[in-house]
Structure 1
């Protein structure tokens, strides 16, 4: 999409979708100084291959994924 999102933004979106706050803790022992701080992909090759398509906002994709997983869990005996 050419749009980048921070992990914090994704967590905030999931908090809103799930209806509760996710408690996140970070251990400094697991943070590497050479970790990639930001990455942003391009969908241009996909557009070149299949033509234009409707872009779905990230929050809608996350909501769909969450609802799909909840439905799976509810249907499991």
Structure 2
């Protein structure tokens, strides 16, 4: 049986948008899912990542635009 390790963070809108699709794909292929939460604050500290509040405004705007695009795409896929 196929298995998926799903690394996610509860504060990510991208993870929220992908969640239902992941469950649908797993069911379609008979796969099981193990959810593995990730602490993004700790991850950024270890990898020199930049937390959202500290990013430049242009990156924040681009991220919001992509979230809207993905949300629209997901709504259209479920129609």
TM norm structure 1: 0.32
Greater fraction helix: 2
TM norm structure 2: 0.31
